[in-house]
Amino acid sequence: MKSFSFAGLVLLLVMSGALRAQSVSRVRSQTSETQGNGEIRDERIPAQRAVTALKRLRDDVFVYRSLGDFEDNRWLARTPFESFQSNLESVSCEVSLILSSLRNGRLKSEITNSLESFRDGSFWWRKINAPRVVNASATSPFASNRAPSDIAFQASIPYTVAIYWRQAAGHLARAEDILSRIRSTNNTIPGEK
C-alpha cells in the first residue's frame, strides 16, 4: 500500500510539473508573437524568403503531373546530383534558420514538409546516382550477384524520387497560397488565431 501511494505521489508531482511547463511555454509563445512595442510580428518577409529558396530547389528538378509523363521522360533533375546536393545544403541552412523564427502553424508546416520532401528525394536519388569513376572492387564477380528483389527495388527508386519531388512542389504551392491569402487579409494566417 505504501509503494502505491509513493508511486501515486511521484506521478502527481511529475504531471503537475509537466502541466506547469506547458502553461509557461504557452505564455512564452503568446508573448513572442509581439515585438517589444506591442506590434504583431510580421512573418510574411521571412516566410517569403523561405519559399523563394525552396523555389530554387523546385526549379532544379522535374515535377511530373502523372506517372505517364514520368515514364515518357524519366529525367529526375535539370542539374547533376552534385549541384543539386550543394544547392540543397545551402537552402536547408537558410530555410532552417527561417523556420526557427516562425510560429507553429500551417505555413510553417508546409514549408517544413516541402524542405523535408526535397531532402528525402535527395536521399533516394543518392542511392541510384552512378559515380563517374568505376571502383575496381565493384567489378569483382561477387558484386554482380544481386537478387531479383534487389534489382526490382533499385528500379523503383526513380519513381520514389519523382514522388518526393511532386510532394515537395505540392507543399510549396500550399505555402505560396497561404502567403498570398496573408497578403490579402490583415496579416493573419487564415484558419489560425
pLDDT of residue 75: 84
Please give the chain's pLDDT, 193 residues, in tens.
454 555 555 555 555 555 554 443 443 444 344 444 433 457 889 999 999 999 999 999 998 888 888 888 888 888 999 999 999 999 999 999 999 999 989 999 999 999 999 999 999 999 888 766 555 555 555 556 678 877 788 888 889 999 999 999 999 999 999 999 887 876 555 555 4
Does any domain span residue 89?
Answer: yes
Instruction: Say how many C-beta atoms besides its own lie within 10 A of residue 166's C-beta.
Output: 19
77 phi and psi angles, rounded to 5 deg: -150, 160
User: CATH number of the domain that 181 lies in?
Assistant: 1.20.120
- The gap from C-alpha 51 to its chain's centroid, in whole angstroms, comes to 12
pLDDT of residue 13: 55
Domain containing residue 94: 42-132+144-193
Does any domain span residue 98?
Answer: yes
pTM: 0.67
Does any domain span residue 29?
Answer: no
Q: Which residue type, as a one-letter code, is found at position 100?
A: S
Does any domain span residue 37?
Answer: no
- Euclidean distance between CA atoms 38 and 49, whole angstroms: 24
Does any domain span residue 119?
Answer: yes
- For the chain, what's the residue count? 193
Does any domain span residue 156?
Answer: yes
Does any domain span residue 11?
Answer: no
Does any domain span residue 139?
Answer: no
- Euclidean distance between CA atoms 54 and 94, whole angstroms: 10
- Euclidean distance between CA atoms 20 and 152, whole angstroms: 53
Burial bucket for residue 48 (CB in 10 Å: 0-12, 13-18, 19+): middle
Q: Indicate the number of domains in the chain.
A: 1
